[in-house]
Structure 1
Amino acid sequence: MSAQTEAEPGGAVAKLSMPTLTAMVVGGMVGAGVFSLPARFGVATGILGSLIAWAIAGAGMLMLAFVFQNLAIRKPELDSGVFIYAKAGFGDYAGFNSAIGFWASSVAGNAFYWVFIGATLGAFFDGFGDGDTVLAVAVSTVGVWLFHYLIARGVRDAAVINRIVTVLKIIPILVFIVVVLFALDPEVVADNWTAYGYGDLGSLDEQVRNTMLITTFVFIGIEGASVYSRYAKRREDVGRATVLGFLSVLSIFALVTLSSYSVLPQPELADTRQPSMVGVFEYVVGDWGEVFISAAVVISVLGAYLAWTLMAAEVMYIPARADDFPAFLGQENSHGTPITALVVTSLGVQALLGLTLFVNDALNFMLDLATSLALLPYLLAAAYALKLGLTGESYEEVAPRVRRKETLFAGAATAYTLFLFDAAGLKFVLLMTVLLAPASLLYVKARSEHGRRLFTPAEIGLFALIVTGGVFGAVGLWTGSITL
């Protein structure tokens, strides 16, 4: 998971070449999640299962990338963020829930970043543990409000920071892949092919399903590739850069996973503490490897945190300015920062950091929560693209074969995101509704501020479904049938 920034030096729109566009796509998607891949895959499957998982994730996320690219072309006026597609396709309340889901995903992802830094420091200082100790939360709290202060003071352009961070995180990852593959042990590879000899990982289908949330988490931000279309020197470069950049990122992720299986048996890989790339590299090269990858983790995460905090605040600010969120969330300070949205975002991260003190395996919980919350806006965007293809809206002057192709892509992306909901499981779907149900009060307030009709008949049904899920989720948490 990472974030994107747009290149607008001097206030003018910069025209970007295909290599530059490709680099922006790569830098945008390679984030903190890659450093957790070895153990997340090791606990779920062997080499065969990981190959199948990356093939499925690669195909599914590529379809989703095409959806965002095609929507940018067919509906260029909808440029307020991924949630705007839900509003355009399925009404105001669907758009509201998409925005809340995307915001909450960003907040959970930011909480994950701090836990990840704490877990990294835990290898050097016992007091940080796995990022879920009182000391870790205290240090993270200082970090949250330090970044809040900097952003509130007008530090809004993350472009330079993001470029530096991209280089400093890509190089160590490539070094990891090359060095670990040179240390390949054929016997370990053979034993890890299915990993059945080490115990019961479940059927191959179960193994693949258990990897789906991590494969989705590392690709969160894929929707940002489409925003680069307005900066391209040539329009056709955007599609090429999207595919080339995506395939490059997929190769990096898959190679990090597969190279790890080449040096450590699956049980040892599964038991490697997070961030697990650190432990794998240290096993191969010695103590300096721990410092090398750990430094890359901290630099990568801090850079991504800045960009995603800005994005989370914007996700609340933009709908508020469009009267879809309450007006108070659209307030700016003297530096032009959406200050109320920023405060709510920082408080959200703070609350989740407090929750880590009571959660089993806080790192993986935050990762899975962030991924599950992102699924709703992705599903609604894909469904909107499918709706456009089936109805022919925006395809009036387009060749029929183009419409058929894009409709197939949208259908595949919709099916893939529905599969991800199933892979996430009922627990995280209910947790999502536990958040969305009370958040609907913000929708009610926004509608009442402008004297708008509260719900259409279809929206009443959606509201009832969300509230029902929220009640079941809350009861499950209260009774302990849903554990955190």
Structure 2
Amino acid sequence: MALIIGSTVGSGIFSLPQNAASAAGPGAALIGWAISAVGMLSIAFVFQILAVRRPHLDSGVYSYVRAGLGDYIGFTSGWGYWLGSVIAQVGYATLFFNTLGHYVPGIGPDHPVATALAVSALTWVIFAGLSRGIRQAAFMNAVTTVAKLLPIAAFILLVAFLGFSWDRFTADFWGGGPVFGQVQGIMLFTVWVFIGIEGASVYSKQARTRADVGRATIIGFLTVLALLMSVSMLSYGVLTREELAALPDNSMAAVLEAVVGPWGGALISLGLCLSVLGAYVSWQMLCAEPLALMAYDGLLPRRFGSINRAGAPWAAQLLSTVVIQITVIIFFLNETAYISMVQLATVLYLVPYLFSALYLVLLTVRGRGVAHPHAGVLFDDSGPTPSPADNRRHLAVGLLALTYAAWLFYAADLTFVLFGALAVLPGLLPYVWTRLQANEKVFNRFEAVVVAVLVGAGAVAVWGLAQGTLSL
């Protein structure tokens, strides 16, 4: 539960008042939250159901996609999830030091080089802590999770009882524009703040029982939903939509400052720093796990799965930290905005969400996935057999989650979909090398078609970059 809440309640909740108001009025925001709540809850249920139906698949989120659609699709989902986590890390750290820059001279948005150095130093310090083992990492995450929830709870109580105005909340209730367009605009922001609900599934191999994975997922989701909706909707009752939309990234601090004065802004800024630090720890843990799991399963070189004496996957953590460092340099040289990092990371996270939902649908309809990763290794031949009523319920959940994830791809900016395809292409190199070393067939026909689509989308992205028509 702490891993889910710690990774989900990160930077997004603190920028949520501004993000939501820039896209929608209170009425459309409520509709957007209702759709997101149902959609993301269905995705949470997908992971909970799969944890029960296929308890032997203990390699996290990517293992469901691999079992359902084959090696390469599973690998691409795991690789995309890893890259999304890397980009999220850079976004978290950027917001952390931009906020800290209001109080500490020499860092922040006006000092990009110093901020980049500070982000790099933080990344390597956390790597040093995580390399000491899973128990120490879990303790770090639990402490920061509890610490950051206190300022958020203070915000909700103070705004609800001291600053909320029903007249201000209802003054521009529908936002003065097409409601559907507003709802579509807010959807990616609501998805971003929910990213992390799969945290228990990613670490499912560490759980004592599979039931713990499902319970942690659902309880963590409901807790996060209550926090996010409270912060988002209460803010409309403090400032007008136009005022909220004009706030900086740490808009939650500005809202509380409008209610109780400067000390409220300082309190939330402290909460943001604690929250982002906690999310940074959580996501740097999650960064390494997909790489290590894919190495255990033979989809990446075995050395990526190396474990040190403390039980930490140090090789995967080291590679993740190095790539985070490279991404910091690229993004800071390119002056990439925090919001662009959010949208690109969200698109990459949607891939395992979409394919995990598809796998559940295939299980309920066919009893197995499309293709097994290796001859003689049956991924779908064990686990409890659900009753016909349970199977129908599981099918409904899978179809709802699949529809929601597909619609999110439709609603996403095409630029970030193209850049997402470009980002996963380098993973072909270690994947193909590993398959050739094992004397195994690299792609089947379905996988070859997927590779062709990715290469085509990546080529369009490169062409757009070269012509200046696409940029982050």
TM-score w.r.t. the length of structure 2 is 0.90
Q: CA separation in 2, counterparts of 1:152 and 1:380?
A: 31
Which residue matches 2:165?
185
Aligned equivalent of 1:98, options 74, 77, 95: 77
Equivalent residue for 1:300, pick from 275, 292, 308: 275
Q: How does 1:18-417 map to 2 (within 5 A)?
A: 26=5, 29-125=8-104, 127-130=106-109, 133-154=112-133, 157-182=136-161, 183-196=163-176, 202-225=177-200, 227=204, 231=208, 242-333=217-308, 335-359=310-334, 362-393=337-368, 397-417=385-405
How far off is 1:278 after superposition? 1.1
**In the alignment, residue 54 of structure 1 is paired with which amino acid?**
W
Give the corresponding residue for 2:415.
427
% same residue: 38
C-alpha contact (below 8 Å) 1:434/1:469 kept by paired residues: yes
Letter in 1 for 2:158: V
Partner of 2:470: 482
Higher mean alpha-carbon deviation, 256-265 vs 155-164, is at 155-164
Instruction: Tell me the residue number matched to 1:464.
Output: 452
CA contact (8 A) 1:188 1:264 kept: yes
Q: What SS is found at the alignment partner of 1:274? A: coil
What's the offset of the Cα at 1:430? 0.5
The offset of 1:171, in angstroms, is 1.8
Q: Distance in 2 between matches of 1:388 and 1:36?
A: 39
1:264 partner SS: coil
Per-residue deviation at 1:166?
2.1
CA-CA distance at 1:396 after TM superposition:
8.0
Alpha-carbon distance between aligned partners in 2 of 1:476 and 1:29, rounded to the nearest angstrom: 33
How many Å separate the matches in 1 of 2:328 and 2:206?
36
CA spacing shift, 1:28–1:75, aligned 2, 3 Å:
same
The alignment covers a number of residue pairs equal to 456
**Structure 2 residue identity aligned to 1:464:** A
Q: 1:231, CA displacement in angstroms? A: 4.5
**Deviation per CA, 1:12-39, whole angstroms, max 9, x where unpaired?**
xxxxxxxxxxxxx555633332111111
Q: 1:398 to 1:332 in 2, by over 3 A?
A: closer
Cα distance in 1 for partners of 2:11, 2:305 equals 30
Shift of residue 106 of structure 1? Answer: 0.9
User: How far 1:290 sits from its partner (Å)?
Assistant: 1.9
> How far apart are 1:247 and its partner, in Å?
2.8
Residue 328 of structure 1 and its aligned partner are, at CA, apart by 3.5
Per the TM alignment, residue 384 of structure 1 is displaced from its structure 2 partner at its CA by 0.4
Give, as a single letter, the amino acid of the residue that structure 2 aligns with 1:340: A
Q: Distance in 1 between matches of 2:313 and 2:142?
A: 24
Structure 1 pair 337/246, CA: closer, same or farther in 2 (3 Å)? closer
Deviation of 1:121 after TM superposition, in Å, equals 1.4
Q: Does 1:454 align with 2:442?
A: yes
Query: Deviation at 1:132?
Result: 7.4
Q: Which AA in structure 2 matches 1:285?
A: V
Instruction: Please give the secondary structure, in 1, of the residue aligned with 2:85.
Output: helix
Per the normalisation by structure 1, the TM-score is 0.88
Q: Please say if residues 279 and 290 of structure 1, whose CA atoms lie closer than 8 Å, have aligned partners that are also in contact.
A: yes
Q: Deviations over 1:133-160 (max 9, x none)?
A: 2221111111112222333354763222
- The Cα shift of 1:108 comes to 1.0
CA, structure 1 residues 254+465, in 2 after alignment: closer, same or farther (shift >3 Å)?
Answer: same
Secondary structure at the counterpart of residue 59 of structure 1: helix
Structure 2 letter corresponding to 1:121? L
**1:355-387 Cα deviation digits (max 9, x unpaired):** 333456621111112111100011111110111
- In structure 2, what is the equivalent of residue 19 of structure 1? none
The 1-side partners of 2:214 and 2:450 are apart by 35
Structure 2 contact 354–405 (Cα < 8 Å) conserved: yes
CA contact (8 A) 2:10 2:278 kept: no
Q: Are the aligned partners of 2:197 and 2:217 in contact in 1 as well (CA < 8 Å)?
A: no
Distance 1:331 1:224, change over 3 A: closer
Q: Deviations over 1:157-209 (max 9, x none)?
A: 3222222222212221111012112212344223331232xxxxx52112111
SS at match of 1:123: coil
Alpha-carbon separation, structure 1, partners of 2:214 and 2:135: 28
Amino acid at match of 1:433: A
Q: In the alignment, is the contact (CA less than 8 A) between 2:36 and 2:187 conserved in 1?
A: yes
Q: Is the 8 A contact 1:4 1:224 kept in 2?
A: no
* Structure 2: distance between partners of 1:132 and 1:475: 32
The one-letter code of the counterpart of 2:33 is W
Q: CA contact under 8 A between 1:119 and 1:275: conserved in structure 2?
A: no
- Runs of 5+ unmatched residues, structure 1: 6-24, 197-201
Letter aligned with residue 376 of structure 1? V
Which among 399, 418, 429 is matched to residue 406 of structure 2?
Answer: 418
Compare 401-410 and 323-332 and name the one that shifted more.
323-332
The one-letter code sitting in structure 2 at the alignment partner of 1:283 is A
Is residue 116–residue 131 contact of structure 1 (8 Å, CA) maintained in 2? no
C-alpha distance in 2, partners of 1:26/1:4?
5
Report deviation, 1:86. Answer: 1.1
| 1:35 alignment partner, SS class | helix
Indicate the RMSD between aligned Cα atoms, in angstroms: 2.4
Change in Cα spacing, 1:469 to 1:283, as seen in structure 2 (3 Å) is: same
- Which piece of structure 1 moves more, 70-79 or 138-147? 138-147
Task: State the shift of 1:341 in Å.
Answer: 1.9
